[in-house]
C-alpha cells in the first residue's frame, strides 16, 4: 500500500513538474509577446514628425540609398504617394514606419470591385508586412476638392480596402483614411465657428463615422503659408511661423476665449470643431502635409529660406513639446513635413519646386535649427555641417580654389600634406574638400564661407574617412556628450524594459506556483494519510 502511494506521488509530481515547466515557458513567452506589443503601441502613439517623399526629382536616390539617407537623418516616419515595391523592399527590417498611398487614378477600380481592393492589399501590403512597417494607407489625395467627380467612389474604395485588411487580419495594425485639403472646412477662424462644406456632407459624415468605428485619423493637409498669403494684413507673419507673439497679436476665439499663438493650431482645432458639429468627438487629426517653401517668384516674396527654416524648425519643436492645441492640450497631432526633397521637375509657380528640406543630391536646401529637441534630423543642424567640393567641378577651378584656401584663406592644410592622415587619396578633389571644410569651420560657418566661386557645397554627411578626420568633426565639441547621453538613455530604457518584463515574469511565476501547489497538495495529503 505504501509503495503504491509512493509511486502515485512520484508520478503526480513528475506530471506536475512537466506541465508546470511547459506552462511556465509558454506563459513567459506570451508575457514577452504582450510586453513587445505594449512597447510597440506606446511607440506608435507618441506624437512624431515625419516627411513626405515626392518623386518628381532629377536623379532621385535609389531606394537603398534613400533608406540609408533616412536612417542617417534619424527620420522614422515617412509618407509616399504610391506603393513603390522597390521602396517597400528597401524599408524591410528597418524601424522606419511608412504610410503608403492609393493614387487618385486607381480609386474607380478599387471602389468598384472588392476583388480589386483585395488584390491591391495583397500586392502592396500583405506582401511586405510586417518586415516593412506599413502603418497606414492614404486613399487618394484631396479627392473632394481636386477630383470632385470621384467623391462618390471615395468611401466605397476605403471600405473595400478596409475589408481586405480585415480579411488579412491587418486592420488593427494598419489604419486607413484619406487626406483632405484645408478648404473642405469653411469659416475656419475663429475655430469654434468652423464647419465642413455642407455640399460635401453626404461624403464627410459617413466617412467620419467610418473613421470613428475603425480608430483611424482624419488626415488633413494644412498649410499656414497659404493662410498667411491669402490673409496678409490680417494674419501676422509671426503667427504663421510659430514666432513668439505679444498678447495683442495673439488670435483669440471670442466664443471660447482660447488664445491661439500659431496658425497651425487654429487650423487643427477648426477640424475638431467641424467634427464636433457632426457629433464626432473621438477621431484624431493627423497632419499629412505641412511646410513652407524656401523659394518663390516675384508674387511669392515670403517664400524664403529664412521663413522655411523658421517655420519647419519651430514646427518640429512645437510637436516635440507635446503641448497639443488650445482646444485639446492633452492631444498632440503628429505631422508630416512637405517634403523631403525639392521636386525640381514640378512647376509653375517657382515655389512648387521648393518645398524640400534637401535638394535631390541630399544637400540641405537650408539649415534647420533643431538641435536639442530630440533625435529627429539630428544630422541636419547648424552644429553638424561640413563644406566639401560640389559634385561636378573642373580640376582647374578646384586647384585655384584649393590654392586660395590654403594660402590667402589661411585654412589649416597640414593634414593633406604627404604622409599625413588626409593625404590619401592623393587627388585635388579630396584635398580641396578638406581645405574647404577647414576654411568653413575657421570662419565659424559664416554665410558665404562655403562657396569658393560655386565649387563648394554644404553637407550634413560627415566626409571623414579612415584616419582622416575632417575639421567639422574635430570641432563638434558636443558630439561626445551626445553619445554619452544617448548611451545613458538607452541604458535607462533597457533597465525599464528589463524591470517591466521582470515584473511580468514574477507575476506569471507566482500564478504558476499556485497552480503547481494546487495540483500537488492533494496528492501529498493522500500520501501522508
Check residue 428 and report its DSSP letter: H
220-258, pLDDT tens digit by residue?
Answer: 999 999 999 998 878 989 999 998 877 877 889 999 999
The cell for 406 is 590654403
The model's confidence at residue 487, banded by pLDDT at 50, 70 and 90, is very low
Q: Which residue has the cell 554644404?
A: 458
Q: Crossing angle for the helix pair 479-528 and 2-45, nearest 10 degrees?
A: 150
pLDDT tens, position by position, 287-324: 999 999 999 998 999 999 889 999 999 999 999 889 89
pLDDT over 80 at 184, yes or no: yes
CB atoms within 10 A of CB 413: 20
The rounded distance, in Å, linking the Cα atoms of 413 and 432 is: 9
Q: Quote the longest CA-to-CA distance of the chain.
A: 107
Tell me what pLDDT residue 475 has. 61
- Residue 266: all three cell numbers together: 487654429
- Residue found under cell 523658421: 310
pLDDT at 513 over 80: no
Least confident interval from 63-67, 109-113, 167-171, 499-503: 499-503
Name the residue with cell 466664443: 255
More confident residue, 252 or 476: 252
Which among 130, 269, 287, 163 has a CA at the least distance from the CA of 222?
A: 287
The residue among 120, 128, 135 whose CA lies nearest residue 80 is 135
Other CB atoms within a 10 A radius of the CB of residue 503 amount to 12
Strand 251-252 and strand 259-260: the pairing is antiparallel
β-bridge pairing 218-221 and 179-181 = parallel
Confidence of residue 454 (pLDDT cuts 50, 70, 90): confident
Phi and psi torsions of 277, nearest 5°: -65, -20
Residue with the larger pLDDT of the pair 46 and 492: 46
Res. 516: pLDDT tops 60: no
pLDDT at 375: 62
- State yes or no: pLDDT of 39 exceeds 50: no
Cα 22 to Cα 20: distance, rounded to the nearest angstrom: 6
Q: In this structure, how many other beta carbons lie within 10 angstroms of the beta carbon of residue 269?
A: 26
| Distances from the Cα of 451 to the Cα of 5, 200, 457, angstroms | 93, 52, 7
User: How many residues can be counted in the chain?
Assistant: 529
Mean pLDDT, the chain, whole residue set = 82
Helix then strand then coil, in percent of the chain rounded to 5, is 50, 10, 40
Q: What is the mean pLDDT of residues 341-354?
A: 92
Element (H, E) at 241: none
pLDDT band at 390 (very low <50, low <70, confident <90, very high): confident
Is the pLDDT at 21 greater than 60? The verdict is no
**Residue burial 455-491, b: 16+ Cβ < 10 Å; e: rest:** bbbbbbebbbeeebbbbbbeeeeeeeebeeeeeeeee
Q: Is 136 helix (H, G, I), strand (E, B) or coil?
A: strand
> Which residues are bridge partners to 176 per DSSP?
137
- What residues have CB less than 8 Å from 218, skipping those under 6 apart? 177, 180, 208, 211, 271, 275, 283, 284, 285, 286
Alpha carbon distance 166, 160 (integer Å): 10
What residue spans of 243-330 are helical by DSSP H? 263-276, 305-321
Detail the DSSP E strand segments found in 122-225.
133-139, 175-177, 179-181, 185-186, 195-196, 218-221
Average pLDDT over residues 187-193: 94
* Secondary structure (3-state) at 99: strand
Q: Indicate whether 17 pLDDT > 80.
A: no
Q: List, in sequence order, every beta strand (DSSP E) within 144-256.
A: 175-177, 179-181, 185-186, 195-196, 218-221, 251-252
DSSP state of 62: P
For residues 377 and 369, give the distance between their C-alpha atoms in angstroms, rounded to a whole number. 10
Residues marked as catalytic: 142, 289
Sequence-distant (6+) residues with CB within 8 A of 444 are none
- Average pLDDT estimate for 158-162: 97
Q: Is 215 left (phi over 0), alpha (psi -120 to 50) or beta?
A: left
d(CA 281, CA 283): 6
The answer to whether 251 and 192 are in contact (CB under 8 A) is: no
Q: Can you read off the three cell numbers belonging to residue 123?
A: 500586392
Secondary structure (DSSP) of 439-452: HHHHTTT-TTSS-T
**Residue 366 pLDDT exceeds 70:** yes
Instruction: Looking at 73-122, list the stretches that DSSP marks H as alpha helix, in order from N- to C-terminal side.
Output: 85-90, 107-112, 114-121
pTM equals: 0.68
Q: Under 8 Å CB-to-CB from 475, ≥6 apart: which residues?
A: 441
Cα–Cα distance measured from residue 15 to residue 254, given in angstroms and rounded to the nearest whole number = 74
Report the pLDDT averaged over residues 424-450: 89
> By C-alpha distance, which of 363, 311, 361 is closest to 337?
311
Give the model's confidence band at 449: pLDDT under 50 very low, under 70 low, under 90 confident, else very high: confident
The average pLDDT across 123-152 equals 96
pLDDT in tens, 76-92: 999 999 999 999 999 99
What's the grid cell of residue 67?
Answer: 533608406
Task: Tell me the per-residue pLDDT of 253-292, one tens digit each, with 9 for 90 and over.
Answer: 999 999 999 999 999 999 999 999 999 999 999 999 999 9
What is the H or E stretch that residue 386 is in? strand 386-389
Amino acid at each position: 500500500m505504501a509503495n503504491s502511494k509512493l509511486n502515485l506521488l512520484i508520478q503526480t509530481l513528475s506530471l506536475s513538474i512537466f506541465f508546470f515547466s511547459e506552462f511556465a515557458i509558454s506563459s513567459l513567452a506570451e508575457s514577452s509577446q504582450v510586453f513587445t506589443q505594449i512597447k510597440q503601441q506606446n511607440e506608435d502613439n507618441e506624437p512624431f514628425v515625419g516627411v513626405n517623399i515626392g518623386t518628381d526629382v532629377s536623379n532621385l536616390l535609389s531606394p537603398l540609398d534613400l533608406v540609408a539617407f533616412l536612417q542617417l537623418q534619424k527620420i522614422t516616419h515617412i509618407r509616399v504617394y504610391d506603393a513603390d515595391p522597390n521602396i517597400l523592399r528597401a524599408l524591410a527590417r528597418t524601424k522606419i514606419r511608412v504610410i503608403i498611398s492609393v493614387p487618385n487614378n486607381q480609386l474607380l477600380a478599387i471602389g468598384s470591385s472588392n476583388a480589386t481592393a483585395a488584390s491591391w492589399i495583397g500586392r502592396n501590403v500583405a506582401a511586405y508586412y510586417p518586415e516593412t512597417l506599413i502603418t497606414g494607407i492614404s486613399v487618394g489625395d484631396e479627392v473632394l476638392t481636386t477630383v470632385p467627380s470621384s467623391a462618390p467612389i471615395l468611401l466605397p474604395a476605403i471600405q473595400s480596402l478596409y475589408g481586405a485588411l480585415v480579411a488579412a487580419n491587418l486592420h488593427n495594425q494598419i489604419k486607413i483614411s484619406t487626406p483632405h485639403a484645408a478648404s473642405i472646412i469653411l469659416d475656419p477662424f475663429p475655430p469654434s465657428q468652423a464647419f465642413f462644406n455642407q455640399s460635401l456632407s453626404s461624403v464627410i459624415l459617413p466617412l467620419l463615422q467610418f473613421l470613428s468605428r475603425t480608430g483611424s485619423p482624419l488626415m488633413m493637409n494644412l498649410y499656414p503659408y497659404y493662410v498667411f498669403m491669402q490673409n496678409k494684413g490680417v494674419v501676422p507673419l509671426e503667427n504663421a511661423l510659430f514666432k513668439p507673439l505679444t498678447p495683442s497679436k495673439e488670435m483669440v476665439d471670442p466664443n471660447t476665449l482660447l488664445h491661439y499663438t500659431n496658425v497651425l493650431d487654429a487650423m487643427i482645432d477648426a477640424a475638431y470643431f467641424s467634427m464636433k458639429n457632426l457629433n464626432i468627438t473621438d477621431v484624431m487629426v493627423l497632419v499629412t502635409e505641412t511646410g513652407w517653401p524656401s523659394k518663390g517668384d516675384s508674387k511669392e516674396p515670403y517664400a524664403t529660406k529664412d521663413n522655411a527654416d523658421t517655420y519647419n524648425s519651430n514646427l518640429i519643436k512645437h510637436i516635440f513639446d507635446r503641448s497639443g492645441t488650445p482646444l485639446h492640450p492633452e492631444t498632440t497631432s503628429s505631422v508630416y513635413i512637405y517634403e523631403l526633397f525639392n521636386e525640381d521637375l514640378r512647376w509653375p509657380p517657382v515655389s512648387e519646386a521648393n518645398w524640400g528640406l534637401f535638394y535631390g543630391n541630399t544637400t540641405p536646401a537650408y539649415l534647420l535649427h533643431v538641435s536639442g529637441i530630440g533625435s529627429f534630423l539630428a544630422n541636419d543642424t547648424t552644429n553638424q555641417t561640413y563644406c566639401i567640393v560640389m559634385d561636378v567641378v573642373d580640376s582647374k577651378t578646384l586647384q585655384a580654389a584649393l590654392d586660395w584656401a590654403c594660402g590667402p584663406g589661411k585654412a589649416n592644410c597640414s593634414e593633406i600634406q604627404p604622409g599625413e592622415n588626409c593625404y590619401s587619396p592623393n587627388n585635388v578633389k579630396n584635398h580641396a574638400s578638406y581645405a574647404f571644410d577647414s576654411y568653413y569651420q575657421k570662419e565659424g560657418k559664416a554665410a558665404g564661407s562655403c562657396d569658393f566661386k560655386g565649387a563648394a557645397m554644404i553637407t550634413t554627411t560627415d566626409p571623414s574617412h579612415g584616419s582622416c578626420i575632417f575639421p567639422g568633426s574635430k570641432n563638434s565639441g558636443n558630439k561626445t556628450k551626445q553619445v554619452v547621453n544617448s548611451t545613458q538613455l538607452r541604458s535607462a530604457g533597457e533597465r525599464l524594459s528589463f524591470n517591466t518584463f521582470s515584473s511580468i515574469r514574477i507575476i506569471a511565476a507566482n500564478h504558476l506556483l499556485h497552480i503547481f501547489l494546487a495540483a500537488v497538495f492533494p496528492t501529498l495529503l493522500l500520501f501522508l494519510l
